[in-house]
Chain A
Amino acid sequence: MLLIYCPYCEVERPELEFRCGGEAHIARPTDPSTQSDEQWADFLYMRTNTKGIYAERWRHIHGCGRFFNALRETVGDKFLKVYKTGEPKPDLDAIAKEASR
């Protein structure tokens, strides 16, 4: 079973305790009424769906209940890094370089 590290509980836990919350770092428009339908649809539905290193929101729903962010390599399903909500998105190129070493 895939083990995922929760940055709040500070332990590795089985995937069963978690839910994936889709792509991370997507800011909700601060004033939705100024958005065109296309822009709003973009915000709601369009995701990069990267093959490679992807920043995702994960929720430790059956543990501490908190959302956090994780970098997952979508081909091998390997978690490369987890970080707390609010922390900046890591430099994906640097992480990729490190992972390929």
Chain B
Amino acid sequence: MVDQVTADLYVPDAGEEPLLAISSVSILRAAPVSRLSFRCRDDARAAAGKAFGVALPAKPLSAETTSDRIAFWLGPDEWMLIAPESDLEAVSAKLEAALESHPTSLVDVSHRQEAILVSGDRAVWLLNTGIPIDLDVSAFPVGSVTRTVFHKAPVMVWRTGEDSFVVEAWVSFMDYVAGLLVQSAGELSAA
């Protein structure tokens, strides 16, 4: 089992103060990236991966990564493609050209959602204050990605290490998600 995955695209936003910084867990806003919601049939998957620069995983809840590309499996015919902010046009153009003969859907959702980085010994505990799924490393191993809910907001969670997660939420829900996480973390500093 891997204990850390390449997550170079998700770096803390240098211009932002940490949302939470206590000894057992921290929450940092991530710098912007390009996000493309991509859907295709299975016969176009290989060509799409080749054009994008990393294979589109077929295994449920998994991700394929390089230093500057991530393909998240979100559904049996749906992926979230992540690339550096400056690569958006190049990536879209390449995918469009390679998939001309296939029915596909490619949507730029870069600014629909944003990411926070949640890490530390109590990261799992903190996320589970609002996420109802089992985040034990045996049930949700390092490298797993999934959509789920945080209280009432839909989120995407990617486990990059045993104690580190990327959590994405729609921009207008992020204050709700991050705010409740910071509030719940009060339990940790109170003890």
Contact = CB atoms under 8 A, between A and B. Distances in A.
A40 to B, nearest CB: 31
A10 B60 CA distance: 7
B75 A8 contact: yes
B186 interface: no
Contacts of A81: none
- Overall SS of chain A's interface: loop
B149 A65 contact: no
Contact of A66 (B61, B76, B149): B76
Contacts of B60: 8-11, 64
Nearest to A84: B76
A48 to B, nearest CB: 29
A13 B75 contact: no
Interface string B138-169: 01000000111100001000000000000000
Interface residues of A, number: 14
A13 B133 contact: yes
A1 interface: yes
A68 to B, nearest CB: 10
Which are the 6 A-B pairs with shortest beta-carbon distances?
A64-B75, A14-B132, A62-B149, A9-B60, A10-B60, A8-B76
Interface of B: 60-61, 74-76, 78, 132-133, 139, 146-149, 154
5 contacts: A10-B60, A63-B146, A64-B74, A64-B147, A65-B78
Interface of A: 1, 8-11, 13-14, 16-17, 62-66
